[in-house]
Every structure is written in C-alpha cells, then in structure tokens.
Amino acid sequence: MTYIAFLRGINVSGQKLIKMEGLRKMFGKMGYKNVRTYIQSGNVVFESPKSKNESLAKKIESGLEKSLGYDVTVVIRTKEEIESVIKNFPFSKVKNIESFKTDVAFLATGPDKSAVKELESLSTKDEMFKVTGNNVYSLRSLAKGFQETLLGKNILEKKLKVRATVRNWNTVNKVLNI
C-alpha cells in the first residue's frame, strides 16, 4: 500500500535539518519500500503492508528519533486519502478563488466537534477554514503572508488540540505523482 508521511517542522529556519537522501535511507532501514521524497519540507512517499495510519506514524516517529536524536511529528495519509482530499476541495464556489492561497493541514487525529465549530467560526473574508475529518482546508488572501495569518500562528493545534502539519495545495497535489 502507498503511504505519504508528512513530517512537521523539519528544515524550517535552520531547525531540525534533514537531507532528503538521508531521510530516504532512514525509511529504507525501517523496512519501507520504494521510498521517495518531495522537496525539503519532509514529504515521504513509501510502500508498506497495510497498517493503521496512527500506528505507522508512531513507528516512524520512533525510528526517526533513534536516528536523529530528536522528536519529529509524523502524520500519515494513504495515497487514496490524498486523492480524496483533492477531490473534495470545499472552496470551489468561492468568488475570486485566484486571489487566495490554499493550504491543507493534516491532523494526527480527528478533532473534537466543538473545537471544529470554534475554528470554523474564525473564518473571515481573508482567511477561511473548513474541517473535513482529520484534514483542515484553509484559504488565505494573497495579500497576507503566511506568518500574518491565524494558520501561520499555529491556531490549529491551539484550537483543535491535535498535532498538525500544513502543506500548500501544490505540494498536496504533487505528492501523488512522485
């Protein structure tokens, strides 16, 4: 089965530096097959026997911590789950969609329903949130930089109380084809 591991917070601002070649080797040593990476932000596509995403994430986190000496949050999605994320894009009716940047946050677990309502209630004309299962779609105005947005200020983990990692829409689409 094909999986995608999204590693949180690596190679950002000189922190938790991991070369992709080394990362592929680490996954190989953990027993995963056909390991590929996409860009330096920690997107790893690999094959493994069918397993629960959470169990796989914990196994990879443990293996990475042994190899690297520090904790790295890993969120797993199957290839089919990523295809579903793309297919079910919830903002297709937003006017002037081209004036927004799209991001998807992959949550380690499903959030509490009341927390979802609270997060979605923070949506404005410049920044919108839609939670579907354990994924959060976000649109943000191109007029704002990522760090100026609620998403950039880590609102997801604060409000939803789950671990998350964010990828832009282009990355979400590209990981299917590497």
Closest CA to 102 of 50, 69, 56, 137: 137
pTM over 0.85? The answer is: yes
The predicted model gives 153-172 an average pLDDT of 93
- Model pLDDT for residues 8-24, shown as the tens digit of each residue: 988 776 677 888 899 99
Q: Tell me the CATH number for domain 86-177.
A: 3.30.70.1260
- Model pLDDT for residues 126-140, shown as the tens digit of each residue: 999 999 999 999 999
Please state which architecture CATH assigns to domain 2-79. Answer: 2-Layer Sandwich (3.30)
Pairing of strands 127-132, 100-107: unpaired
Domains 2-79 and 86-177 share a fold: yes
Please, what is the Cα angle at 165 between 121 and 100, to 5 degrees? Answer: 55
Where do the domains of the chain lie? 2-79, 86-177
- Model pLDDT for residues 78-125, shown as the tens digit of each residue: 999 999 999 999 999 999 999 999 999 999 999 999 999 999 999 999
- Model pLDDT for residues 68-81, shown as the tens digit of each residue: 998 999 999 999 99
The predicted model gives 128-155 an average pLDDT of 92
Which of the four pLDDT bands, split at 50, 70 and 90, describes residue 154?
confident
